Amino acid sequence: MSTISMRSTTLGAVGLAVAGTLALTGCKNGNEELAPAQPGGATSAAAPSASAAAPSAAPSESAAPGAGGSEAPGANGTAKSGQTFKIGEAAEMPFSYGSNKGGQIALTVTAIEQGNPADLDTLKLGDKVKGMIPYYIRYSVKNTGTTDLSHSSVTQVKGLLADGTEAQRVSIIGKFDKCPNEALPKGFTNGQTQTSCAVALAPSAQTKVTAAEYWGNPYNYPNKGLVWK
């Protein structure tokens, strides 16, 4: 199955599961469905409707700012809403996921690498990605707090084009060797670090993905995300 948004498209998943976000989903059966994007990067896998443009919160991704015990952006030394970092620079931020409340992480975008269009063949997205160029946003997550973040997911990372607009996003559920993205492992306590990756699509070879943005709580709408470039 594949689902494509009208603005900020999220491509999802290889495998049987479908992400709880708006996705252009590469499935083995080749069927497709359309669904509209939501404000602030929040998404929905529902079919189009008259109310589809209203803000929609996906679990752990789009909760209202400060929800789940997270502090306001910029509090107690955390990154400020809209702050820009250099590639390789860490951003300290509050983080909660599911029952893992009140955590703290340091997120670092370490590289933005251009891929090959043929890399997308295994997603079976066909003409939906014709002419598009994949980019791999590599990042690391370090637990800098006291909360055990075992099995949490840090997936709210997307690419930005040179003009600042959002690149189409690809959320992978299942194995994608070019850009591994797995939940944090068991025992992910203070000092533990894991690397991860997000896929972004440039619309053509002439347009590049030049920056990355973290848009998770508390940097989601109406606040501004954190940017690396």
DSSP summary character for residue 15: S
Residue 77: phi, psi to the nearest 5?
85, 5
Euclidean distance between CA atoms 65 and 43, whole angstroms? 16
- Sign for the CA dihedral angle at 19, 188, 217, 91 comes to negative
The residue behind tokens 């055990």 is 148
Token output for 216:
């998770």
* Residue 112, burial from CB neighbour count under 10 angstroms (0-12, 13-18, 19+): buried
pLDDT tens for the chain, residues 1 to 229: 433 333 344 444 433 232 323 345 433 333 332 223 333 333 333 333 333 333 333 333 333 334 444 667 877 779 999 999 999 999 999 999 999 999 999 999 999 999 999 999 988 888 989 999 999 999 999 999 999 999 999 999 999 999 999 999 987 778 899 999 999 999 999 999 999 999 999 999 999 999 999 999 999 999 999 999 9
pTM above 0.85, yes or no: no
Write out the E strands in the chain: 2-4, 10-12, 24-25, 32-34, 84-85, 90-97, 100-114, 133-143, 157-161, 168-170, 193-202, 209-214, 226-228
Does residue 134 sit in helix, strand or coil?
strand
Residue 122: phi, psi to the nearest 5?
-70, -20
Query: DSSP secondary structure string, 190-216?
Result: TT-EEEEEEEEEESSTTS-EEEEEE--
Within 8 A by CB and 6+ apart from 47, the residues are 33, 34, 35
Within 10 angstroms of residue 130's Cβ, the number of other Cβ atoms is 9
Token output for 50:
């008259």
Using one digit for the tens of pLDDT, what is the confidence trace for 181-226?
A: 999 999 999 999 999 999 999 999 999 999 999 999 999 999 999 9
